[in-house]
Amino acid sequence: MSTPSAVVQPQTQDRRRLPIMTEALDVKDMKLYAEAGSILADLEAMGHAAGSALTVEAVSAFDQLHYHGADSVRYGIAQLGIGAAARVLEIGAGWGGPSRVIAAETGARVVALELQQDFHSVGESLTARCGLADRVSHQRADFLTVDHPAGSFDHAVSWLALYHIPDRAAYTAKIHHLLRPGGMLFVEDLMQGTAYTAADAETLSRELFSNSMVSAADYVASVEQAGFEVVAADTMTQDWRAFTTERLAAFDANRARFIARHSEALFEARRHFYAKIVEYFSADAIGGMRLVAHKR
């Protein structure tokens, strides 16, 4: 197992100031998730008329809400060895971008699970336009209450979503329950940075909808305690700090074009989020984790 550089002795997370997620609307406080339909305007601006057929490649320029886009998804595919016969669960699928890449490039069948109704609906329509409705099934549900039989999936994947879900022990155990014996897990997620303090909890809750952000050591420990063997756990903080800094600069450089396509209000909302992410990575209040594990 490759061990994250930030791992220290597990600590007890101060959860007193973290909110409990009870309504899908709560996540809309996170400004990245404003206007799920904006991707349709992006596609139309690139010449893809409303309702027209799409390719996964065309949509992937806009539908990947995590870092490094489809390249990160392809890395996950390779790490898990996803093949055409695989059953895959994506947790926190957003528009379903990773699910479509997995289905298109491997032939696997994927369930794209998303809490937010607007992202779910837009994602489902994009999948149909890509001709992948037979391989990607969109499900709008809270992961903590979703009902699938034990061992339903060969692989579970998630990009920058698990830290939104409250009760880390419960959802990690549920992932374990839904995987077949020997099933594989691939996660990219935010974690507490090396300079994180309990005082950061309220701010990160409000700006990032953080409900279960833990240290690197506790991240690995919680996965192991759920019954997984961790194959690799890599700190992505430096890489993601550079990525998000470059993303903010590129976004600012394209301000006029973005506003012409969407609105100034959406530009300001998205810029607020991008700037906050840069601020938190720069202060080491947050960090990044990439983890691969298999069910014991």
What pairs with residue 184 in β-bridges? 155, 294
pLDDT score for 27 = 78
Task: Give the residue-averaged pLDDT of 130-141.
Answer: 99
Residue 120 has pLDDT above 90, yes or no: yes
DSSP 108-128: -EEEEEES-HHHHHHHHHHHH
Q: Give me the residue label for tokens 């939104």.
A: 164
Q: Kindly report, residue by residue over 230-265, the tens digit of the pLDDT.
A: 999 999 999 999 999 999 999 999 999 999 999 999
pLDDT band at 26 (very low <50, low <70, confident <90, very high): low
Burial class for 224, CB neighbours closer than 10 Å (0-12, 13-18, 19+): middle
In a domain, 282, yes or no: no
Domain of 131? 24-240+288-295
In a domain, 93, yes or no: yes
Q: What is the pTM of this model?
A: 0.90
Residue 9 has pLDDT above 70, yes or no: no
Number of folded domains that form the chain: 1
C-alpha 207: how far from its chain's center? 16
In a domain, 7, yes or no: no
Q: Kindly report, residue by residue over 48-58, the tens digit of the pLDDT.
A: 999 999 999 99
In a domain, 61, yes or no: yes
Residue 144, helix vs strand vs coil: coil
DSSP state, 28?
G
19-23, 27-31, 66-70, 222-226: least confidently modelled range: 19-23
Both tokens of residue 12?
């007890």
CATH code for the domain in which residue 223 is found: 3.40.50.150
Both tokens of residue 44?
């139309």
Residue 67, helix vs strand vs coil: coil
Average pLDDT of the chain, as a whole number: 92
